[in-house]
A and B are shown apart, each in its own frame.
Chain A
Amino acid sequence: MHLLGDPPAHRRLIVLPAWNEEAAIGGCLDEIIDVLPEWDVVVVSDGSTDHTSVVARSKGVAVIDLPFNLGVGGARRAGFSYAIREGYTEVLQIDADGQHDPAEVQHLVDVMVETQADVVIGARFAGRGDYTVTGPRKWAMKLLSAVLSRVCGTRLTDTTSGLKLCGPRANDLYARDYPAEYLGDTVEAIVIAARNGLVVRQAGVVMRERSGGVPSHSPVKAAVFLVRAMMSLAIALTRPAKVLEQEAS
C-alpha cells in the first residue's frame, strides 16, 4: 500500500458516519478536534438531506458525501476505503450521536499497542462505566458476547459497540469486505476479522447518554433484535472465509 515511497508512519483517521446529523455534528467535531488534534477526521455523510456536510466542511474536515443512503455499514466501508487510499494506518470508527467520548480513544490506542491487536472494540460492561441494559435485549447481547468471545478467543462484553479502532491489516480487510446489513457492521465484522486471522481485543470504555434519540426498551423490538442478531451470526459463522486468499491468488 506504500507504493509512493511514504514511510509507513502512523497516520490516524477518525471516521464519523453521519446521517442527517446537522444539529449534533458540529459539537461532536469540535470536541474531537479539541481532544484528538493529532487525528485526521473524515465525516461520511450517508445521503443526508439536511446540511450535515455543510456543517462538517465548515469545521475544516474531509467530507465523503454519499449520493444516497447506504446504511451505517456502507458509510463505514467507504471510510475504510478512503483510509486505504489516503495511506492511513489506524482508523477509528466512532458514532456521531455523542455516545462515544473522544477522551476514551487514547485508552483504545494503548490497548492496541499493548496487545498487538488488529481490532480494538471500545466496550461497555467491561468494568468501567455504569451503562446498563435490561430484559430481552440484555440476554441477546450476552448471548452474542458469549459466542463471539469463543470465535475470537478473547473475552468480549460489548459486541454491538460502534466504537472501534482498526490497524492496517483490519483496514485492508474491511475496505474490501465490510457487511452493510443491519448488525453486519458490528457482529459480522468481528466474525470476519477473527476468521481472517486478525487479533480482536476489547478496551473497557465509559459511554455517555446519546445526545439524540431514545434507546429502545420495547420487548418486541428486543425480540426482533435477537432474531436478527442470531441470523446475522449464523450466516457469518457459516460463510467461507476466503477473502484474503482470493486477493492473494
Chain B
Amino acid sequence: MIYILPLLFVAATIITMVLLMRRRVMKERFTVWWAILSVGVVVFVVFPPLLPFVAEHLGFQTPSNFVFFVSSLMLLLMSVQFSVEISRLEEKTRTLAEQLGILRAQTEQRSGVTTIALTPEAAQLVDTTTDATEAEE
C-alpha cells in the first residue's frame, strides 16, 4: 500500500524550496532542514513497517508519538537557528548604525556643513540656550 498524501507533501515542499531559492528569497542553509524532513518522510512512506519498528525500539508507545516528537524537535532546532541568525543580523545592524553615525560626525567636522535640518522650533531651542555657533564664526 502506498501513501499518496505524504508523497504529495514532499513534492510540494521540494518544489517550494526550489522556487524560493531560484528567486533568491531563501538562502540554502535554511533549506537543509526541509530537505532532511523530506528524505525522512520518503523513507518511512516507501517502507511502511519501518515506522512502527523504529518507534517501538526507541521506546515510544505508539508510532504517532514518535512522529510528533521528531517533528517538534525539528521545529525547536529550527527556531534556535533562527534566533542565532537574528542575533547576528542585529549585531551587524548595530555596527552599521554606529559606523554611520561616526562617519556623519567626521564628515560634518571636516566640511563644516551640518547634516541635520534646523527646524524653526529647533532654532528657537538653540537660541534660548546659547549662541555659541555665532560666536565661533
Contact = CB atoms under 8 A, between A and B. Distances in A.
A70 interface: yes
A42 B105 contact: yes
Contacts of A57: 114, 116, 133
A59 B104 CA distance: 18
Contacts of A42: 105
Given A81-B99, A85-B102, A55 B125 contact: yes
A120 B122 CA distance: 37
Nearest to A43: B105
The binding surface of chain B is classed by DSSP as helix
Task: Output the residue of A26, A42, A58, A180 with the most chain B CB within 10 A.
Answer: A58
Given A26-B130, A70-B94, A74-B94, A54 B101 contact: no
B4 to A, nearest CB: 50
B105 A54 contact: no
A63 B115 CA distance: 11
Nearest to B116: A53
B134 to A, nearest CB: 9
B97 A59 contact: no
Nearest to A47: B97
9 contacts: A30-B130, A55-B129, A58-B126, A58-B131, A60-B133, A66-B100, A67-B101, A78-B101, A78-B102
Interface of A: 22, 26, 30, 42, 44, 51, 53-55, 57-60, 62-68, 70, 74, 77-78, 81-82, 85-86, 180
